[in-house]
Structure 1
Amino acid sequence: MEGTGKLYYGIKEVADLFGINASKLRYYEKEFPTLQPKKNRSGDRVYTQADIDHLTEILDLIDRQKYTLPGAREFLKEREARRRENARYIAKLQKIKSFMEKMRAGLDLPQPPPSDSVSESE
């Protein structure tokens, strides 16, 4: 569905895309708290490309990699925790880098002598 230019997809479109019925999509919403498509004013589910990508990942874990539903839920939960932890480490490292760059800029390093463009043999 990428490249179609649409921002939102109905539950029927998404179900047809994955070859499953709409009730299974609603079931996965209950089983996976991270899969929560928005609802429009009339209460119909509308899926974004991010929702579809997440659903693709869930179905891959269940169908191809043969995870159980609780196993797939745990895998996604642990992966998200690792991402948050990595983001914290990256933020700390960026602060350290910035501090080190300020320290280096503040050092009075001896400047190399200017090189003469005229050689001594002239």
Structure 2
Amino acid sequence: MLEPSHNNELPAIPGKRYFTIGEVSELCAVKPHVLRYWEQEFPQLKPVKRRGNRRYYQREDVLTIRQIRTLLYDDGYTIGGARQRMTDEKTKGVHPTHIDAVIQETIDDLEELLELLKPGR
């Protein structure tokens, strides 16, 4: 399990449609029980539930979880404060942390692509 770190130290999000709770746990450096708790506290988190009540998160969910994680762990918000901040930002537009996460993800994807395109690979 990854230790809590800043968004730019989190692994790149693979280009697939759905992620299991275990994969999201690794991608966001948050334990699965914390993710389940956050689902109850943040209305923005609505993973798809399939047979057996298994959760499947989409890329947008992973970005939202990273945003929540940043607000709680890096910015020092309480659960209520983070929920309010995300609700306020939703009415105003995209949160800067979300934009930073998207930019960082794009940079990571491009660096990965460059690595694949290097001669001699």
TM-score range, shorter chain: 0.5 to 0.7
The one-letter code of the counterpart of 2:16 is K
User: Is the counterpart of residue 56 in structure 1 residue 66 in structure 2?
Assistant: yes
The CA RMSD over aligned residues, in Å, is 1.3
Q: Which residue of 1 aligns with 2:42?
A: 32
Secondary structure (helix, strand or coil) at the match of 1:42 reads helix
Q: Which residue of 1 aligns with 2:82?
A: 72
Report the TM-score when normalising by structure 1.
Answer: 0.62
Q: Which residue of 2 aligns with 1:15?
A: 25
The CA distance in 2 between the partners of 1:29 and 1:80, in whole Å, is: 17
Provide the identity percentage. Answer: 34
The one-letter code of the counterpart of 1:18 is C
Deviations 1:25-59 (A, max 9, x none): 00000111111111123320001000000000000
The CA distance in 2 between the partners of 1:19 and 1:80, in whole Å, is: 24
**Which ranges in structure 1 are unaligned for 5 or more consecutive residues?**
84-122
The one-letter code of the counterpart of 1:30 is Q
Give the C-alpha shift of residue 5 in structure 1.
2.8
Report the TM-score when normalising by structure 2.
Answer: 0.63
RCO (CA 8 Å, sep 6+): is it higher in 1 or 2?
2
**Which ranges in structure 2 are unaligned for 5 or more consecutive residues?**
1-11, 94-121
